[in-house]
Each structure stands twice: as C-alpha cells, then as structure tokens.
C-alpha cells in the first residue's frame, strides 16, 4: 500500500503532532498545579517532567517539520515585546521601591523584592549574552 | 513587502499547502506572505524564486529607496 504523502496529509500530520506537543506541555503544567494543590509534590514534579519530556520527544522525534522560520520570527518578536514591557516596568518600579523603602514609607513584600532581583538578573544575563554574540570572533 | 505569490500560485493551480510543501515551510507561512504579513528570509525568497523559475525581484516589491 502506498502511503499518503499529499500536502493535505502532511498538514494533518503537522496539526496532529503540534496538538500532541502542546497537549503534553499542558498536561505537565496542569498536572503539576493539581498535584501540588493536593499536596503531592513528588507526583507534581514527576507529571511535570513527564509532560516536558513528552513535548521534547514529539518535537525531536517526528520527521514532520512542526515549526518554520515564521514561528521563529514570531518568537523573536514576542521575546522583544516581553523584554520591553518587563524592562520598562523594572526601570520605573525598581528605583521607586528602593527609595520608598529607604525613606521608610513602604516595605516591599519578599515577592516584590524577589521579582525585582530575578528580573534584574535576567537583564544582566541578557547583557552578557548580547555582548558574547556581538563580539564573538 | 508586496509580492505576487498568490497570483503565481493560483496560475500554477497550486494550493497553499502544495507550495508550502515544495519550499519546506508551513501553510500558515505561505498564507502570511501572501497577505503581506510576513517578509520571508532571503533563503525562503530564493526558494520561492527557484520554484517559480524567476528572479526574486520579479516576485517581491520591496518598495524602498536609498534616500
């Protein structure tokens, strides 16, 4: 029997594998949150890693091209917009929080301090990676 | 960037899926190019030109000047 390799058949396969890929990720994340809420931390992590492994297995295990240059371009644009939004918020919020804390008018909760620290580290890493890419031989 | 991919594709009696398959991208990418919502990479532009047996500038109109 000759396999159906028409473009329509290939599109169906792409749809199927993309759904499978995102499904694995969704099951991993939702399963993690549910198990964590029910206080089964080991199950939560196992389900999460299972979902992630399933996603990677689908992505690298299939011979069908699931993503192309437009997907990568969209990812770059989304990353760019995200960096602008987070960077803008950080530039405005971080100094304000430090000044308010220094003057004793406001005590930032640990979550806020942690977020500022985390985002600052992310931009530091971004800068380092940018410099490496900019000046690599 | 304006292009006449749709006209050439329809003249060749091809579906977006056919063309996508031929140049190795997804059907959505061909659709986005035809609607001027995505500018393809140089590599993909060359593939499209090769597929339609013409020069890149015959397909794409960059609408740029040096001024």
Burial B29-63 (b: 16+ CB within 10 A, else e): bbbbbbeeebebeeebbebbbebbeeeeeebbeee
Q: How far is CA A85 from CA A76, A120, A127, in A?
A: 14, 13, 16
Q: Closest chain B residue to A8 measured between Cα atoms?
A: B17
Q: Given pLDDT bands bounded at 50, 70 and 90, which one contains residue B59?
A: very high
Q: How far is CA A132 from CA A5, A128, A137, B4, in A?
A: 43, 6, 9, 40
Q: Quick one: average pLDDT of A23-39? A: 96
pLDDT of residue A3 exceeding 70: no
Q: Given pLDDT bands bounded at 50, 70 and 90, which one contains residue A28?
A: very high
Tokens representing residue B30 in the block:
């061909």
Instruction: Give B-chain residues touching A65 at CB under 8 angstroms.
Output: 24-26
> pLDDT per residue over B1-43, tens digit each?
889 999 999 999 999 989 998 998 988 999 999 999 999 999 9
- The answer to whether A68 contacts B25, with C-beta atoms less than 8 Å apart, is yes
* Nearest CA-CA partner of A11 in B43, B8, B23, B16: B16
Q: Given pLDDT bands bounded at 50, 70 and 90, which one contains residue B52?
A: very high
pLDDT of residue A101 exceeding 70: yes
Query: What is the Cα–Cα distance from A10 to A12, expressed in whole angstroms?
Result: 5
- ipTM of this complex prediction, to 2 decimal places: 0.84
Q: How far is CA A61 from CA A17, A95, B31, in A?
A: 10, 47, 27
pLDDT of residue A53 exceeding 70: yes
Query: What is the Cα–Cα distance from A99 to A131, expressed in whole angstroms?
Result: 31
Contacts of B4 (CB under 8 A, 6+ apart): B59
Residue A39 touches chain B, beta carbons under 8 Å: no
Instruction: Give A-chain residues touching B43 at CB under 8 angstroms.
Output: 69
pTM above 0.80, yes or no: no
């Amino acid at each position: 029997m000759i396999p159906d390799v028409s473009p329509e058949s290939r599109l169906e396969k792409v749809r199927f594998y993309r759904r499978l890929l995102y499904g694995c990720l969704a099951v991993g994340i939702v399963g993690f949150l549910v198990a964590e809420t029910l206080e089964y931390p080991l199950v939560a992590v196992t389900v999460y890693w299972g979902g992630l492994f399933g996603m990677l297995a689908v992505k690298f295990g299939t011979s069908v091209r699931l993503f192309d240059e437009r997907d990568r371009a969209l990812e770059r644009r989304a990353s760019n917009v995200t960096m602008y939004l987070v960077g803008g918020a950080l530039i405005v919020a971080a100094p304000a929080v430090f000044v308010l804390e220094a003057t004793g008018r406001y005590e930032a909760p640990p979550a806020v301090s942690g977020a500022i620290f985390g985002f600052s580290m992310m931009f530091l890493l971004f800068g380092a990676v940018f410099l490496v890419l900019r000046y690599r031989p | 960037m304006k292009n006449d991919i749709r006209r050439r594709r329809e003249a060749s009696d091809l579906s977006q899926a056919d063309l996508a398959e031929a140049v190795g991208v997804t059907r959505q990418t061909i659709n986005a190019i035809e609607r001027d919502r995505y500018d393809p990479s140089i590599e993909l532009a060359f593939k499209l030109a090769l597929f339609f047996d013409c020069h890149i500038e015959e397909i794409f109109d960059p609408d740029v000047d040096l001024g």
